[in-house]
Amino acid sequence: MRVIVGHYVGGTNGGNLSEDVIHKNNYAPVPGAGEGGRPVQLSQRELITARELYSLHSYNILVSDKISINRSLPDMRSDRCKEVVFDLDNLPTATVIIVFHNEAWSTLMRTVMSVLMRSPTQLLQQIILVDDASDRRYLFQELDEAIEKLDRVQLLRNPERTGLVGARLLGAKKATGDVLVFLDAHCEVTPGWLEPLLDRAGSDDVFICPHIDLLSEDTLAYTKSIDAHWGAFSWRLHFRWLIPGGDVLRKKSENPSKPYPTPAMAGGLFAVRKSLFWRLGGYDEGMTIWGAENLELSWRAWQCGARVEITSCSRVGHIFRRHSPYKYPGGVTKVLHANLARAATVWMDEWADFFFKFNPDVATIRDQQTVADRVELRKNLKCKSFAWYLSNVWPQHFFPTDQRWFGRIKSEKGGCIGVNPGTLGLGSPAVAVECITQMGLESLVVFTPEGKIMTDEGLCLQQGNGRALWKSCSDSSKQIWIQKGPRLKTQEGLCLTLVVNKDSHGVGDPLTSKKCLTDDKQIWHFNRVPWR
Ligand code: UD2
Ligand code: MN
C-alpha cells in the first residue's frame, strides 16, 4: 500500500493534508518491523513523508503502519515480578475499556490485539472500545468489520463527542467484568500485565496503575521508563512524574513486586473494582474532552478512604505525545481550565484559593462551574480534607502550608530567589530572577521550618561546589538554609551570596555560598505573601 501525501499548506490537525490521507487506513505491515519492541527506522524520503503526516496523530503514523498489530514484545518484568504466582481461579475478571477519538487504525488495533494476546482467557471478560465521535472514515465500517471478527471485543459509539470522561463512563456502564481496566488507545501491554492489576484491584479499596513504559513517538520502540517514579502535580496543577519519598523507595527496594502508593495517577491506565468505581462516584461528568480528571479521581480516591497505587509488575507501553492532535471545542485552555477549576473547587479546600489566586485566568471561570453534586458526593462519602491528603499521602509536597513561610526572598542588591520561566530548572545553577510583584509564581518560594527553600516543580535550593543549584527536593543537608537575621546560612555556616555583576541589579546573577562578611550581597529581605 502506498501512502499518498497531500500538499502541504500549513496548519494543524491534519487540516493541511488531503482528504484521502486523513480518512484512509494505510496499515501495511512489513515483516519483522518493530518486532520485539525494536525501533523502526525510516529512509530519508519516508522521513519527509512522516513529518508531513505527523500532525495527524502527533506520533509517527508511517512507522505505526509498518508494524504488525500482532507484534511481539519482550517480557519487561523484573525477575522478582516473574516469580510471583497468581491463582487465576481466584482472581476477579476484567473489562478492558479503551476510548478513542480519531486514533490511528494501526495503533488502536495494536492496543486491542496486545490485550487479546497477553491476557489469560479466563480473566478477560471483554474489551469495550468506545468511539468518542471520531470523524475519520477508516474508523467507521472498516473498524466495525475488523472488530466483529474478534472474540469478546465490542465497539460502542458515543453519539456526540463528550471527551474521555463521558466515553469512559459509557463503557463502564456496559461492563460485565468485576474489574474495570482503562487503557488509552495507543498502548501495548506486555506479558503478565493483567494478573498483578487484578490481584490488587480485587481488594476493593484501591485504584491500581501499571508501570507505564515508553513507546517512542518516532520509532515506536518500547523502552523502560525510570524505575522509581510516582505521580504528583505542580502549583499550576500540571501532572508530573517525580521521585517517590524515601520511605516508599526503601520499601520498594525491599519488596520490588509489592505495589506502592502514589499521590496521583497519570490517568489513562488503571484498574479498579467496578463496585468501588461507582461507590466513589464514577467520574465528574462535568469534565469535558481532556484533562484534570486524573487529579480529581486521585484526590477523591485518597480523601474518601481508598488508595492509588502503582505496581511495577504490570508493564504497559504508552505513546506519550508532545502535542494533542485533536480539536478542543472552545480551545484547549478553556476546556482544561474548566476541568481544573472543577477539580480544585471540590477537593482542594484552601489550596484551591492558592491555585485560583496565582492562576487568575482560571479564576475568571471559577464561578461558572456547577459542582454542587460533586460537593454533595464529598459530603456523603465523608471524605477527608486536602490538608490531610498533603501531609499523609504526599508529605514531600512543595505547596505552601500554614506552617511554611511563603513569599519572595529578595536580595539587598535586587533580584529574587526563584527559577526563571522557560529555563531548565532541575540541576541548573541558581541565579536571581526578577521580583515579579503581581501573581507570577516565578519569584515565589516556600521556606519550610526545617530550612528548605522550595519552588514549584519540587525544586529546592542546594548548596553546590561554588554555585548554588536547583535540585529535586531531598533529605540532603545541602538543602538546608538557616535564617539568621537577614542572612541565610548553610550548615557549615556559609552565607548565601549573590555574586552581583555591575549594572545588573542582581537579575541573572549567580547565587553561591561564601564566608559570611558584612556584605550587602549576603543580605536578604523576606517579603511574606499571603498564599490564599
Ligand atoms: C493523560 C492520560 C489520559 C488522560 C489525560 C488527562 C496516560 C497515559 N494518559 O494524557 O488517559 O487521563 O492525561 O485527561 O495516563 N480521547 C477521547 N475523546 C477526547 C479526547 C481524548 O476519547 O475528546 C481519548 C484519546 O483518544 C485517548 C484517551 O482519551 O485514547 C486519552 O487521551 P490522550 O492520549 O490525548 O491523553 P494523554 O495520554 O496525553
Ligand atoms: Mn495517551
- Going from the first residue of the chain to its last (532 residues), give the mean pLDDT of each consecutive group of 10, the final group possibly shorter: 28 66 96 98 95 95 98 97 97 98 98 98 98 98 98 97 98 98 98 98 95 98 94 96 92 96 98 98 97 98 98 98 92 93 98 96 94 98 98 97 97 91 75 83 95 95 93 94 96 94 81 92 96 94
Under CATH, what is the fold of the domain 405-528? Answer: Trefoil (Acidic Fibroblast Growth Factor, subunit A) (2.80.10)
CA of 405 relative to ligand 2 center, distance in Å: 38
Crossing angle for the helix pair 293-303 and 332-347, nearest 10 degrees?
Answer: 10
How far is 245 from 398, CA to CA, in rounded Å?
Answer: 12
Contact 301, 345 (CB under 8 A): no
Residues at CB less than 6 angstroms from ligand 1: 99-101, 103, 132, 161, 163-164, 167, 184-185, 212, 266-269, 289-291, 293-294, 318, 321, 324, 326
Q: How far is the CA of 440 from the centre of ligand 2 (A)?
A: 30
Q: How far apart are the first and last CA of the chain?
A: 60
- Residue 5: its pLDDT value, please? 30
Which of 98, 103, 164 has the most ligand 1 atoms within 8 A of CB, as the residue to mutate? 164
The three-class DSSP label of residue 340 is helix
Residue 266 CA to ligand 2 center (angstroms) comes to: 10
pLDDT at position 519 is: 86
- CA-proximal residue: ligand 1, atom 3 (nearest): 268
Ligand 1 centre and the CA of 450: distance in Å?
Answer: 39
Nearest residue (CA) to ligand 1, atom 24: 100
Ligand nearest 134 Cα, by number?
A: 1
Q: What distances in angstroms separate CA 474 from CA 156, 252, 396, 408, 452, one per listed residue?
A: 47, 17, 8, 22, 9
C-alpha grid cell for residue 503?
549594572
Q: Which CATH architecture has domain 332-392?
A: Orthogonal Bundle (1.10)
Sequence spans of domains, the chain: 19-75+87-319, 332-392, 405-528
Asked, colleague to colleague, whether 19-75+87-319 and 332-392 share their fold, the answer is no
Residue 122 gets which letter from DSSP? T
pLDDT of 423: 67
Alpha-carbon gap, residue 324 to 239, rounded angstroms: 15
Ligand lying closest to the C-alpha of residue 266: 1
Nearest atom in ligand 1 to 290's CA: 14
Whose CA is closest to atom 13 on ligand 1? 267
Amino acid 172 reads: A
Class of domain 19-75+87-319: alpha beta
Ligand 1, from 290, 320, 322: best to mutate by most atoms within 8 Å of Cβ?
290
Ligand 1 atom with the smallest distance to the CA of 321 is: 39
DSSP 3-state of 227: coil
